[in-house]
Chains A and B, each alone.
Chain A
Amino acid sequence: DTAVSQTPKYLVTQMGNDKSIKCEQNLGHDTMYWYKQDSKKFLKIMFSYNNKELIINETVPNRFSPKSPDKAHLNLHINSLELGDSAVYFCASSQEFPPGPRLNEQFFGPGTRLTVL
């Protein structure tokens, strides 16, 4: 069983479009995250939710809006996509916030590779 799943795995779209990425975890974790990994592999946190409440909201364009309908789901909606939004987006979850201290308390999803043309 997949612990953290994301859909879609690949997303190719035109500039200006609106798209969503979905994330689900079946681990019973309380905290979920969105990370962005750019073309140079640099990873940066975007958002975090704990028990459906937004607890980390990094300086990202307000075209990005997370939504957590319940503890097991965290979706990312992006409006008016731009070329610079092309990246791999990882969802993650952890039992506690911040993650750890025990190992195997944080799991990452497989990633969604977003390409904006």
Chain B
Amino acid sequence: ELKVEQNPLFLSMQEGKNYTIYCNYSTTSDRLYWYRQDPGKSLESLFVLLSNGAVKQEGRLMASLDTKARLSTLHITAAVHDLSATYFCAALGGATNKLIFGTGTLLAVQP
């Protein structure tokens, strides 16, 4: 059964700093998704990664996928307060095509 783990669960960082959120998944998965959730709000799709070595960037966020290591990363460059949110990764379960979500990482960017 596919399991998805994220770390850290909570990340407090200063504006202008760089950091990485890690997403490990336990079995083969065809797709890896990243989402953002603001407090009390819905989920917003950020990235969909399909293949080994895939890298996608949007603003200060860059996501990558290593299917051999079963690892995806979300790298934050020069963080700004507006990036404060909870970030979820989700992997697609092979046989069932269900999205299995990680635990989420609460990112707090301090001014």
Could you list which residues of chain A lie within 8 angstroms of chain B, going by C-beta atoms? 40-45, 48, 56, 58, 90, 92, 97-111
Contacts and interface: CB of A to CB of B under 8 A. Distances in A.
Contacts of B47: 103
Contact of B48 (A56, A103, A108, A111): A103
Interface in B58-97: 86, 88, 90, 92, 96-97
Given A43-B88, A106-B45, A98 B103 contact: no
Contacts of B92: 98
Nearest to A106: B45
Interface residues of B, number: 23
Contacts of B90: 43
Among B37, B43, B92, B103, the one with the most A-chain Cβ atoms within 10 Å of its Cβ is B43
A42 B103 contact: yes
Please give me the 6 A-B residue pairs with the lowest Cβ-Cβ distance, nearest first: A43-B101, A100-B48, A98-B97, A108-B43, A108-B42, A41-B104
B50 interface: yes
A90 B47 CA distance: 19
A42 B101 contact: yes
A105 B50 CA distance: 14
B98 A56 contact: yes
Contacts of A98: 31, 92, 97-99
8 contacts: A42-B103, A99-B33, A100-B31, A100-B50, A101-B48, A102-B48, A107-B45, A111-B42
B33 to A, nearest CB: 7
Interface in B22-64: 31, 33, 37, 41-48, 50
A74 B10 CA distance: 34
B31 to A, nearest CB: 6
Nearest to A104: B45
Nearest to B33: A100
